[in-house]
Structure formats: structure tokens, C-alpha cells
Amino acid sequence: MLVAGALTSAQSTNPLAPDPFVGQVTHSLRDSFAGDTSANGRFVVIESNGDIATEKIPTFDSNGVRNTNARNNEDGNREIFLYDYAQRRIFQITNTKSVLQPSPSVSPSPSPSPSPSPSVSPSPSPSPTASPTPTPVDASVEAIAISNNRPMISLEPALVSGQRTYTLVFSSNAPAPGSFDGTDPNAPGASTLATDGNQELWTYQFTVTDTANLTSGAELPLTDLTSGTFKQITNTTASRVPSPGGAFIAPFVADDNRDASISDDGNTIAFVSTRNLVASGNTDGNPEIFLVNPNTLSFTQVTNTADVFNSSGYHPQFNENPCLSGLLLAFVSNANLASSNDDDGKGNGNAEIYVVNHSGTTLTGPIRQVTKTKDDPNNGATTNIFSFGRRLSRDGRFLALESLATDLKANGANALFYGSFVYDVVGDSFAQLGPRPTEAPGDFLRFPTFTDYDISLSPGTVVFTSQLNLKTDGTILAGGDTTGLNPQKAVQIFSAPMNPSVAATGPFTRLTSIPTAPIFVSTRALPSNSHKRIVLTLSATELGGGNADGSEEVFYQLSPGGTDSAGSLTLFTGASGISVVMPSPTASPSVSPSPSPSPTPTGSPTPYVAPGLAAGELALAQSSVSLAPSAAANNNGSESGRAPALPIELNGVSVEILGAACGLYAVSPTQINFVIPIGLATSAAGTSFPIVINNNGSVIRGLLVIVAAQPDIVTSTNGPDGRAKVCNITNPATPSNVCLGEPFDVTSDNGTGTKVATVLRMSLTGVRGTSASAATVTIGTSAIIAGAARSLDQPGSDQLDFTLPSTVDTGDLPIVVTVGSNSSRTTITSPPHITINKPSPINDPDFFVRQHYLDFLNREPDPIGLAFWSGQIAACGNDSQCTQAKRVDVSAAFFLSIEFQQTGYLVYRTYKAAYGDMPGAPVPLRLNEFLPDSQKIGQGVIVNQTGWEQVLENNKQAFMLEFVQRNRFMNAFAGVASPTAFVDKLYTNAGASPSSAPNHAAAINAFGSGTTPDDVTARAHALRLVAEDPLLAQQEFNKAFVLMQYFGYLRRNPNDPPELTLDYQGYNFWLNKLNSFGGNYVNAEMVKAFLVSSEYRQRFGQ
């Protein structure tokens, strides 16, 4: 069967109708049905076999572990739910499971649907926003079907200390509707269900702080509405024991107590029962009307009838659909309750409407017959329809019904089609509500009901369902006639004023803008105290909220009304502020932004103008007039699982496109941040959709084209330029709340130690529902097809994943997303940028090793050494963990090598012995001292080449002799009296105890028999012996190791910029860490940290 597609422009917005703002409440692949709403429009009671609650605990957690406190409807049972519009949350009130037979069938079929509506449910198809699909219990394996049915809510209980206690009434055959698991044979009450498993009446009460103003959209703290109190009202024996389901047989449960209606304050309930609730009052088990005080459980039997057996046969009597309002009770019955329903003279009548006054639980007057009609014996059609629900006005004066009768008081002839009527209880008179259909197939059931109550609870409006193309005066026009209110002849909700009285000639107003459905569907209105808040149930219909599968869903409609403003409207994409085309006619034919604040800076290049906005896209609206009385924001915009996900009212402001309400992030006098409804279809070529903003009654209008996609990248500026929000997700183990940002390398570790092509994730809006293959990401001039596309729970938030090719452009580059012919900000309109690093030469093993020869040994590598050390790294292949470890080891090997220990490290120790540490520093020399001296001592030295030892020896002798003749050294040791004093001073400078030094005596003996330390050759020899003393070499090893990280890798002193503190804090940190790990550079991660530091890598253009 064909089901509804996305909402299209086929249903035009009629200028005679108020603007509807419709939000979809439920999302499920199964059916949901609204039963009632509170007077203020805050609460809606729903029965559903979908898993629709926003506040639920799944059976299993994300790790597959069973939750011991699971609460959900994954089994697809028929449950009662409570929707709180103020919290935008759906709470599952009942939580039950059916009793199963021992041997379940393997052929699944859906469990019973909720209470029937006039519409036909289409075959389910996937919906992108639906809640998880329940796995329904196969009806053929149900031994006892457990269900919860037909909920209603007390409209307006008393306000006590700022709180109201609401009462839900419903029927259930669960022993404990709040929690009953029929699959557990030991569940409390399970053992008695087989003999007494009929439907009983229950109430559920909850207390909440009253919310006076729903238009504010204010974020409320979570109030758990599942923590209320259940109370069993009836406790009767079953008229028939339950029977199990079979292959072609539905399970049976006696619906003995049903169709409950509840008073405004929740203190009186009217219902139908076949059980004997009052002593000997219903011994024949006929369906009778009862009243009960749920607080005292005091019952009153209203009707007392019996089936008729006479010469014309068996005539069952029934009393159904009680409706309470004020101190009046109305119901329908075919019994002769007021001596006026004896159509055949033998006690047999048709279904007539009756009323009776009561005081809560006591009747205060006789039962009065409202209608006096006859069924047509030729077709057997029921003449009068008094549908279950609220058909009485709250003051009890008016009653709404449908009838075939042409005169509802005369037992006269019937018409071919039903008409709607309003009965004045006080005046005992009928007024026809609208015209009857004049041709087949007639009209839907109209379910007339009242709204727009004044302070005395007198209604000002009656609303009803119809698919006729009515004019405001009630004339019925042919389909397609655009002078009518409903040229498409789709099911709509209409209204008519009650004052001075309703009439067949109206005037009528269409309240809804429902598109034509592909199958026969209807609905009924559940208005609050005002027609401005109405709840609907619709199947096979997309109203913009995301109902692609066509399931029966619950919708919440606002009709704020107002006066059109002359203000002009301009639109922008919501992430970077791209101007959006506003088709004519508008207040201004220009597509350029109005003089109001605009994200596009003055003096910018010719702007790229987006041809439209996409379903699910984040957008901005600005106007030449005020858009809101003051600023207000939704603080929980990122929270998923709300219904709707964002408020559709904020500070009295609402936005709709083709009747579909937009979710609001923020409103202010100058700007509105909103999200395009996800269910809107792409505009047909040359067409556009109306967009309406209602600011507390001031209406601003415009036109908008809905496109398949309009990419818009999230930026750091929320406007032109800026940095694109892009994260490296190559390693799947990266936490979802961590963004590894730019700059990006072309390859990255995938978490297994293997370098692979880098995978990036971009945040954007305007591509919801777009396949990855349809999106192209261009970085510089490199075009990349996206690898994955996803839409987040956060409204207006999408993501694209793409993989960097090895040939990608590098540098600080513009990034643009294109889908079809539409793109994000182009290169001429200041697009955002990202930085892709050039493949760094330091990543190449040969370059890396050669650089170490230059930085630590001050020479070009010899071929053998280069091949050996680069081979150590290259042997790892693509194993990044191995590569990283080998790079650390190879790098450290240069410091540890004989060549460096005998050259660079010897220079360090020479300065340490000669001068000690520099004043105020923990090191003995600076880089500009170290480099030339280490180059001198290492000149021509290549370890393992022939003669290298002699070259090194010659260099050492020459260096030491030259060093002791420097002015600084001679000044430092001027006046030293003896060789012993000279040597002791060297050790003291070095921080070593002379008496413990192995080379102490040899250094003194370098002076021979001389008594003064003036001989420069002897001085040089003594200095070398101290510098090469094993005690000093061991003592200074870690200190020199840390200092060489700065000299070798960073080519600077430890206290030079860009060191933040310009002191030795960094040096001291690494020295302390190296010491704490006993000199283990791997565990201390010292060498690794310097190698991967941005300062080191920036030396090589990265």
C-alpha cells in the first residue's frame, strides 16, 4: 500500500485559515493514539503499542548487559503514556507484559492496535526519526493478552499551593498496571488471571507545579511523572474467562469495565460496566452506566436495563459512551429509559442520547431523552452517533452529536448522510453544525467538541472534522475549487462560533493544513480550553515532523492567530550565515539582507546566495521589524529524545513552514535561530513554501524554497572565514567527546599501531538524509567524495566523514562541501579553512637519521651509519607503534654513542669542571658555547673508520690546550697557588668531592715536580683528566641528557623563547622525571616528547 511521502506544497495555505504550527509528538513504527488533553493543553494522554517514551530505560545497556530496572515498551504491548508539553517529554505510565503460552509460535503478527480511529493504518516503513521498533508479542502465543485502554485525564483539578493533582482514568486487566510482567509465572497476581482476567477500572494520580505560560518555552527541571499513584477502582469477576490466541484467533479478554469519563476536578468518574457493582443492580450482566467517586469508591448505578425478548425476537439493550461535564452526565442507549424510545410498541428502540443531572455520585433528577429518532429499517444504519470522548461543554449546557435524522425530536425521516448538531440542554433545542454532504461518499465522522471557554466555562467555539470543501458560509464546493477552505478535500479540523449560535451556514474557519493522504484517513480534535492548542492523531500523513513510514502518530498544533506585519524577512543558513533566496512576492524584491544586522560583513565580495534551505537545516531569520519581545534561548538544545526535540514556542514566538512548526534554539528582537522541519519535501521547480513567524500575535510572512541539500559548515566564527569544525577520527577508540583538531597529517595511527590515510569528520548542517556518495568535500583543489554521512540527535546537526588522499593539497586551505549544484561558502565568499600538514621530511627515516648526525655529531652521516640507523626504523613498515619506538631508540642512541660521549658530552663536562653551573642556572654552558667547541673536538671523527682514535686524540689535546689559554679560564684560575689547589678547584666547580674522584691524583701528577700550576700543557692535561673522570661522567649524565634535548632537537637554550616562563622550569621538569625513572628515557617519555613536539617538527615545515 502506498503511504504518505514528505509534506509537499500540494496543500496550499488558505488565507482564510489561521496559521497552524504543528509539531509531531510521537515517533514510532507502530501506532499511537491521543485520548485526551488537559484544559491548559499541557498534558496529553496517549495509548500506544510503540516504544514512544522519551524517559525510558532499555532492557539491555549498550554493552548488552540486562538492566535490572528496565522500563520501556520494547515488547509492543498496549500501554498508557503521558505527554508533558511543558517538559517536552513522554512518560510511560503503565508497564505490562502479556501472559504467554508454553510453546510460542514462530510466525509473528502484530499485537492489537490502540483504540480504533476512523483512519486506516498503512503498512509500516522505516522512519528516520522513529523510536526503536518494539518486538511485538505474537498474538498466537498469548495465553492472556494484557492491555491498557482508553485513558482520559481530569481537565483542571484544583490549584492548591501552586500545584495541581491530575487524575488519569483507564481500563486494564493487569493485576498491577504500573509494573506487571506476565512472562514471569511468579509475578504477583499472575496466578488468578486465568479465572479473573477481565478489564478493570484504574486511576493514576500525579501532582505537578502548575505552569501558567506555555508560550514561554521555558526549560523546566525534570519532573518524573511515573512516580504517581495507581488505584484500582473496580474489582469484579470476569463475565468470561480469558482465552488464548491462536493462528487465526485473537486472544480474548472480557472488557467488563470500560469507556470511563472523568470530571474536571477528577472527583467523579462515569463508566460502563457489565458487572454487578451495586447490590443486585446488574445481575443480568447488561452494559450499564455507573458513577463512582474514586476517592471513596462509592458507586451509583445510573441505568438498569435488560435485554428484550418478544415476538419480534431478541433485542439486546446497551448503554454506552458516558460523558461527564459539570453536574451533567450524557450517554447513548437503545433502552426505553424515559418512556419515549418504544419505536415498535414492544419496548424496542434505537440508540438515543440521554442526559441526567447528578451531584457527584447521586442522581438529582430523572433521566431525560435528548433525541427522538428512528433507525432506517432498510439499511440498518445507526441514526445517532455519540462518540466516546468529550461531547459535553464544560458548563454542561451544550452537547454535540451526529445524526442521520432530519428532525431530531420527531421520529421522522432520515437523510442519506450524517449531519452534526449542537444541543442546548437548557433550551432543549438543536442547531445544525454545518451542512450535510450532498453526494457520495459523504463525509468523515466529525467528532464535534467544544473549546474557547470563558471564565464561567461557557464555550465560544465548536470544532469538528470534515473533508468537505466548505466555504465560510457553509456552501459545499467541488474539489479543486480554490474559493473554498479545503480545495484538496483532505481531512481538516474546522471551527464555528457558538455565539449567537451554531448554524449550517457558519461562519466556518479551517484550523488545520493537512495534506491529502494516499489512503482514507481521518482524525478528531482534542482541543484544550482554547482552539489555539489542539492535539490530533493522524496516520499515513506527513506534517513535517518526520513520519515517512505513515504510522499513526500524535501531533500538537498551535494556532496563535495575529495581525500581519509589513516587515520584510531575510533568511540565512545557521552555521555560517549564507544569504538565502527569498522568492517574490515579499516585502522587498531583493535577495540581499535587509539593513538589520547580518552575518555577511559590509564590503565583502559578491555574496554566494543559497537557493534555499534543506529539511533539518539550522537556519537564521532576521527582519526589519522586531522578531521577539526579548532574548530567550533553549538551554537544552543538545539534548536528544525530547518531543519535539526543540520547543516550538519560545518567548511567545513560533515559526512554521507550510504549517510545520520549526524547532527553536533562540529568539531575540533581531534574530531567530531555528531548524527547518525534517519532514518537508523538496519544493517543485518554480515553487516555494510559505514561512510564517508569529511574534506574540504580530505575523511576518515570506516564501522559502526547500532544496534537497544546502551544505553549511560549522565554523569558529559562526560566519565567514574562521576555522571549520573538523576532527581526526582515524582511531576509532577516540572518545566521542574528544575532538582531535587541526593541523592534520595526511596519515594517522588507526589505533592498532598502523599508519593509514587520515579520516576526518566535519560538522555541518543542511545535508540530513543525503547519501555520502552525493557529497563532495573540496580542500584547496582536492575533491574528495565523503565516506559516511550521519545526522545527529541534536537538531540541525549533521556530519560528513572523508578520507584524505595521499595527493591532497597541503597548507592552510579553504574547505567547501558540495551536494548536487548547491555548496557551502565558496572560495569567493570567505569559506572556512583547515590546515593539512605537508608530509614532513622528518618522518622519512633517512632524513631523520641524517638530521641527528647534523644536530648531535655535527657532520654528514657516513653511508654505513646512515644505512644502519635508518634501516632500524624502516624495518617497522606501516607499524606506527614500532616506528615510534624505533625513532626514540635511534634518537637516544646518538646521545649515548661513543662519538657524542667523547665529543659533545666531553665539552659539557669540560665547562662544568672549569666554571661550574652558570649563575642562576642548573646548567654549565649555553648553546652558543657548546656548538663551536663540540664541532672542534669532533672534527674529522667518524667512529669505526681507520685512524679515528688518533684523530679524536689529537682534537682533544688541541681543544684542551686552547681552552686553558682562554681569558675566561685564566682569569678564573689566576692566583691558584699549587697544583693540588688547581685540581681541587676543578672538582669543586664540578660539584664532585676531590677525595672520591678516581682521577684526582693523576690530575695533580700532571704537573710533575712543579710547585705552581702555571704550565699550560699541564693545566690542559689536568683539566682533561677531571673532565674525563668517571665520577663526573656518571654524575652529570642525566643533566647533560636533558640539556642535549634542547641543544639538539630545539636548537635553543632551555630558558629561551618560546619557553613560556623564560626560565628553567621545563628543563627541571624533564630532569626530575628522568631521575624518577632511574634514567630510563623510554619510561620517562622524554625523547618521545621532544621528537613529537610541535616546536621540533616546525623546524621541518610542519
Q: Give the residue with greater pLDDT, 591 vs 402.
A: 402
Q: How far is the C-alpha of 890 from the C-alpha of 896, rounded, in Å?
A: 10
For range 968-982, the mean pLDDT: 94
Looking only at the bridges linking them, the beta strands covering 180-181 and 706-707 are unpaired
Is 105 a residue whose pLDDT tops 90? no
Residue type at position 917: D
For range 252-274, the mean pLDDT: 97
- What's the pLDDT at 292? 97
Which CATH number applies to 21-558?
2.120.10.30
- What's the pLDDT at 220? 85
Confidence bin at 601 (pLDDT 50/70/90): very low
Confidence bin at 826 (pLDDT 50/70/90): confident
For range 439-457, the mean pLDDT: 94
- What's the pLDDT at 129? 43
Tell me: the pLDDT tens digits for 173-220? 999 999 999 999 999 999 899 999 999 999 999 999 998 789 998 888
Question: Of 294, 393, 401, 309, which Cα lies nearest the Cα of 348?
Answer: 309
C-alpha grid cell, residue 246: 491462536
For range 963-973, the mean pLDDT: 96
Is 118 a residue whose pLDDT tops 60? no
Looking only at the bridges linking them, the beta strands covering 533-538 and 526-527 are antiparallel
Q: Give the residue with greater pLDDT, 685 vs 973.
A: 973
Residues 6+ apart with CB under 8 A from 1088: 884, 888, 1082
Sign of dihedral through CA atoms 775, 778, 781, 782? negative
Q: How far is the C-alpha of 585 from the C-alpha of 606, rounded, in Å?
A: 23
C-alpha grid cell, residue 476: 459545499
Confidence bin at 632 (pLDDT 50/70/90): confident
- What's the pLDDT at 340? 85
Looking only at the bridges linking them, the beta strands covering 288-293 and 298-301 are antiparallel
CA angle 939, 969, 909 (to 5 degrees): 55
Tell me: the pLDDT tens digits for 464-481? 999 999 999 999 999 899
Tell me: the pLDDT tens digits for 451-460? 999 999 999 9
Q: Residue written as cell 516504544?
A: 51
For range 385-412, the mean pLDDT: 95
For range 936-951, the mean pLDDT: 94
Q: Give the residue with greater pLDDT, 119 vs 916.
A: 916
Confidence bin at 590 (pLDDT 50/70/90): very low
- What's the pLDDT at 8? 37
Q: Could you tell me if 288 and 337 are in contact, meaning their C-beta atoms sit under 8 angstroms apart?
A: no
Is 5 a residue whose pLDDT tops 50? no
Question: Of 1057, 982, 1073, which Cα lies nearest the Cα of 1023?
Answer: 982
Mean pLDDT of the chain: 89
Residue 623, CB-side half-sphere exposure with 13 Å CA sphere? 27
The domain segmentation of the chain, as residue ranges, is 21-558, 563-707, 714-838, 840-896, 901-1089
Confidence bin at 598 (pLDDT 50/70/90): very low
Is 316 a residue whose pLDDT tops 80? yes
Question: For residue 804, what are the CA distances in angstroms to 732, 782, 786, 836, 939?
Answer: 16, 9, 10, 9, 45
- What's the pLDDT at 345? 64
φ and ψ at 579, to 5 degrees? Answer: -65, 145
Question: For residue 233, what are the CA distances in angstroms to 171, 321, 359?
Answer: 10, 18, 19
Q: Could you tell me if 293 and 360 are in contact, meaning their C-beta atoms sit under 8 angstroms apart?
A: yes
Is 119 a residue whose pLDDT tops 50? no
Q: What percent of the chain has pLDDT over 90?
A: 74
Least-confidence region, from 216-220, 596-600, 773-777, 852-856: 596-600
State whether residue 96 is helix, strand or coil. Answer: strand
Is 311 a residue whose pLDDT tops 90? no
Tell me: the pLDDT tens digits for 489-530? 999 999 999 988 888 888 999 999 999 877 778 899 999 999
DSSP assignment letter at 548: T
Tell me: the pLDDT tens digits for 1071-1102? 999 999 999 999 999 999 999 898 998 898 76
Q: Could you tell me if 800 and 816 are in contact, meaning their C-beta atoms sit under 8 angstroms apart?
A: no
C-alpha grid cell, residue 628: 521577539
Tell me: the pLDDT tens digits for 771-798? 999 999 999 999 999 999 999 888 999 9
Question: For residue 982, what are the CA distances in angstroms to 325, 1005, 1012?
Answer: 114, 12, 9
C-alpha grid cell, residue 942: 667518524
- What's the pLDDT at 4? 31
- What's the pLDDT at 18? 85
